[in-house]
Structure 1
């Protein structure tokens, strides 16, 4: 597995290659439908997906509905959560005419790849995967579902079904992507006969900014400390007014020593397209109240067009379902081709 430094250097090379020939790349990414997406998601991943789509890269976005069946609270309202997630995608600019949005459950051929993929990895490799360990730690359950252990192999299927050769990730997700590379490598070695049946996808490391939640902890849907993309202007103002700061009046951008204040400064700067140090200098001695007012105005102005698009799409839930249905059909056609190639390599086409 590439170290973080090597992955960053390679990502810089990949960005240049994308600029020269975006059609040479196919990206797979996605989210689990556990609630509305928030500003952390937007600046962390969604903005980058739209950027790559607009450059001309082929984008596949999976709504990982099968991966939330372990969460009873979410699974009981799954259809609602899936539609809300798609509304967020459409609102930020993921275009179903240029990108493929689909749900796990609508692509049988993708899920059938899971079985041979599981045969290529050990229980130990699955159980020590960082995402699996984190999910188990946060599940608060006495027994862990077998489905939870399949997450890394299922993600490999999400990536490899369409032969994606690039996956945008944060550095903490490098070990997760590595299992997808391992699956492709082992399948090629065992069944490929000297040819690559599946590509080994590369990581495109994003310089995703770290935005803290309103309580000073990591922004998270489950912690209730996030500002949802769908939140109204008044709700956004209320949440930012209640955000944690510190006792020092003069505003500076110092993430290491003033994380809460710096996160609000960064959020403001991201929305304005400015340098966070300049934003902090402009506010200076005006204090936290001025910072929160500036953050509220910047966020609401930045999100206004997205919220308007979301409201428009929300009026036509039939359109949302069509996006999923058509995306599922497109994804399944590709997955069936890949599955047939995998079965042919394995000698199971009877």
Structure 2
């Protein structure tokens, strides 16, 4: 099914779908996360799709030796979710480390894929190339199978992804298919083969002209202050041409800033560029700064309010972990029974 047809079906029958999505708590979420995934998660949630949002704390260790300030980053991630509009009444927010049965699924799932298949995964190759570790850990190598456990423990049948994540999702589909073939014994399928809902959001560039990333220090955090935002945009890379246009192929840095303003204004980036015209980089950065701060102002106010009630943030996780555990326990029992290991 095409992305357009799948999205139309989700809008028609949201109750037929269960989504698993999430992030690693390695630092504050930024505008790239928001326009790339968060905005769509909130949209799906509000349509009535059942939503599971994973705080992937174990997966922090895929490309680093230690998980620095993990507790702070977990709480910060939940604050970003709440500020963006994730509603704990309609979405289950939970952490890897609090759901033991989810992680136990990794063992039988690993038996369903070969070392060669994992080695050919292009996304794993890219993540290894950008890893902070001097050697590749087993967790990094088996990352796609861990993601399969994340998705299949709750039997999610829809996963919003970018194109770079499609190889990971194909591993999940392979695991589901092979488990069903091996253990369903001709009966109903135990696991669905989840579909990919491809994001239509364009990739936002960071202030240095590269991909916006927490680890590269070129992002604008959702929780940044207005002054911090202004300083980050002031340092953003542009080019020597004074007239502002929207030409992503030939003028990527300028076009990235134009696109950011356009997303915040909900306008065509070409129209935004036309308005700035011969104003040059200074006028462009002024428009971007005002647009971003105006767009994020209510979100930042919500985040500040939630940050004053850390007990509520912890309760969101406690309740989410409790529900995720109940579902994971039931799935693991079903897996053990199918494998003849229920004793």
Identify the TM-score tier after normalising by the shorter chain: over 0.9
- Give 2:195's aligned residue: 202
Kindly indicate whether residue 51 of structure 2 is the aligned counterpart of residue 59 of structure 1.
Answer: yes
2:265 is matched with 272
1:91 aligns with 2:83: yes
User: Please, what TM-score do these two structures have when normalized by structure 1?
Assistant: 0.95
Correspondence for 1:332: 325
Task: Report if aligned partners of 1:27, 1:166 keep a CA contact under 8 Å in 2.
Answer: yes
Indicate conservation of the 8 Å contact 1:130/1:176, yes or no: no
CA contact (8 A) 1:26 1:163 kept: yes
- How far the C-alpha of 1:35 sits from its partner, in A, is 0.4
Answering whether residue 283 of structure 2 is matched by residue 281 of structure 1, we say no
Q: CA deviation at 1:141?
A: 2.8
Matched, 1:216 2:194: no
CA distance in 2, matches of 1:143, 1:295: 41
Bigger drift between 58-67 and 335-344 goes to 335-344
More deviation in 205-214 or 67-76? Answer: 67-76
Write out per-residue CA displacement over residues 76-111 of structure 1, whole angstroms, 9 at most, x where no aligned residue: 311111111111111101111100000001111111
Does the Cα contact within 8 Å between 2:63 and 2:133 map onto a contact in 1?
Answer: no
The answer as to 2:172 corresponding to 1:180 is yes
Corresponding position: 1:250 with 2:240: no
TM alignment of 1:1-350, pairs within 5 A: 10-70=2-62, 75-194=67-186, 195-350=188-343
- Between 1:93-102 and 1:338-347, the stretch displaced more is 338-347
Q: Cα RMSD over matched residues?
A: 1.2
How far apart, CA to CA, are the structure 1 residues paired with 2:26 and 2:15? 32
CA contact (8 A) 2:157 2:194 kept: yes
Q: Normalising to structure 2: TM-score of the pair?
A: 0.97
Comparing 40-49 with 141-150, greater Cα deviation is found at 141-150
* Structure 1 position 24, deviation (Å): 0.7
Q: Give the Cα separation in 1 of the matches to 2:6 and 2:323.
A: 27
Aligned residues: 342
Q: Which runs of 5+ in 1 are unaligned?
A: 1-8
Gaps of 5+ in 2: none
| Alpha-carbon offset, residue 127 of structure 1 | 2.5
Task: Please give the per-residue CA displacement for 1:200-230, whole angstroms capped at 9, x wherever unaligned.
Answer: 0000011121111111111111110100111
Contact 1:14 1:204 in 2 (8 A): yes
Secondary structure in 2 matching 1:69? helix
Distance of 1:331 and 1:246 partners within structure 2: 49
Q: CA deviation at 1:280?
A: 0.7
